[in-house]
Amino acid sequence: MKSEQKIEKNASTEEKIKEAARVVFTRKGYAATRTRDIAEESGYNLALINYYFRSKEKLFDIIMVEHLHLFMQSIAGIVNDRSTTLFEKLEIIVAHYIDMLIANPGLPLFILNEINADPDKLISKVGIGEMAHGELYIITQWKEMAAANNAQLVNPLHIFMNLISLTIFPFVACLLIRNRTGISEENFNALMLERKKLIPMWVKTIIMSSMQQT
Amino acid sequence: MKSEQKIEKNASTEEKIKEAARVVFTRKGYAATRTRDIAEESGYNLALINYYFRSKEKLFDIIMVEHLHLFMQSIAGIVNDRSTTLFEKLEIIVAHYIDMLIANPGLPLFILNEINADPDKLISKVGIGEMAHGELYIITQWKEMAAANNAQLVNPLHIFMNLISLTIFPFVACLLIRNRTGISEENFNALMLERKKLIPMWVKTIIMSSMQQT
DNA sequence: AAGATAATTAATCAAACGATTAAAAATAAT
DNA sequence: ATTATTTTTAATCGTTTGATTAATTATCTT
């Protein structure tokens, strides 16, 4: 019979290995990561990785699911919130993502890269498709706004792409930008924090300008 | 003595291998690519790859340099062009990049990923630092505009990041976007072509709004 | 045509890698 | 304390991988 202590001990080293895997996988990607790297990073023997997780791929899948969850997390709640306006939602989403990305700068490039490496895997193994069952409330709000201005707004897909592009891409290109401009990590993060206020403003401006035009 | 024919023949198969390497490296990245994949893609024997290029890494470096060159190409000319206005430059840059990215959709993710895999390599082996020796003319134009409106514009780095984010990111997240929205490759490309006109407009709007505010 | 050089391949090597095994160390159960 | 169970390690196995070698085929020179 398993005691509490035993379980906690296992969970501890198992968690350490998972944390090490998270670090190495995120930095180097699946293919470039050797199980020996994870062992070294965790401080444990190589064989322990296969003792707790059956294989490199199984361990990777766990990390991947956690990362995807972190990425999609709470967004469903925000975009379906009945108590916030459309523009308030933009502010909340951007602020939420920038905070998360400052804490996990390597996340988006990791995810995007692995999606390209095996596009079907995420569709089959990881169900990222159940974000919304009905129509998202934010979509309803968008349509209402479009109707109120009886104008055909620009394709909402453009607005969506703009939002995630402005928010996420600087982190994807972080090293490139910092290398080109020579700014430090602190200054870069300060710039990103500035964008928490700027991006919703910009996106709002873009939406407004597309309405005035028609 | 080498004849014309011999050189052409070599260049032909050498080019075929390079093209195969370009395809496989761009799709799978350096670590996930096996020299046998390149051999299979090219239709030649494995040993030929090391016959023409000395190693996998040497071949990769060649592809990488070509990709970086394609990416930086002609931008130096555009941003230093004395005959175009600042906003005309925006239009030209965006149009140039979107055309290039539709032709090479995998390029940005490949470059960004390999930069993260080995940040020092690009600084040491590949000299992407010699784009401008003096101050870029586009910077001068920016300062002139700021002075003319005697307003402290938003940090130009933000504008620069916005420009490349809006332009490049949709291609980086192409598979993710297409999977989430279900649109076809043709429709996606059509959207991107729309953005050739939209992005400069949006960026211009963002710049203008930042001036009016102060 | 004959010989020399270059291009291409099959076979193979050594190192790296993911995974397994068997033994040792640590912890729990009696 | 002794046994049983779990955790951790060292050693190793079988494959894969980048690279080389030696032999074969094709091409060029004369």
The tens place of each residue's pLDDT in chain B, 214 residues long, gives 434 444 456 679 999 999 999 999 999 999 999 999 999 999 999 999 999 999 999 999 999 999 988 888 778 889 999 999 999 999 999 999 999 999 999 999 999 999 998 888 776 665 555 555 678 899 899 989 988 886 667 888 999 999 999 999 999 999 999 988 899 999 999 999 999 999 999 999 999 888 765 4
A121 is near strand D: CB distance < 7 Å: no
Which nucleotide across the nucleic acid strands is nearest to A13, CA versus C1'? Answer: D7
B13 is near strand C: CB distance < 7 Å: yes
Please report residues of A whose CB lies closer than 8 A to that of B154.
198
The 10s digit of each residue's pLDDT in B156-212 is 899 999 999 999 999 999 999 998 889 999 999 999 999 999 999 999 999 988 876
Q: Which of B67, B92, B80 lies closest to B163 in space, CA to CA?
A: B92
**Residue B94, token pair as written in the block:** 């965006």
Which nucleotide across the nucleic acid strands is nearest to A36, CA versus C1'? Answer: C17
Q: Which of B140, B155, B166, B116 lies closest to A26 in space, CA to CA?
A: B116
What chain A holds in terms of domains, given with CATH numbers, is 4-62 (1.10.10.60), 73-213 (1.10.357)
Write the CA distances from B86 to A177, B91, B142, B150, B168, integer angstroms.
Answer: 21, 9, 7, 17, 20
Minimum Cα–Cα distance from B204: chain A residue: A206
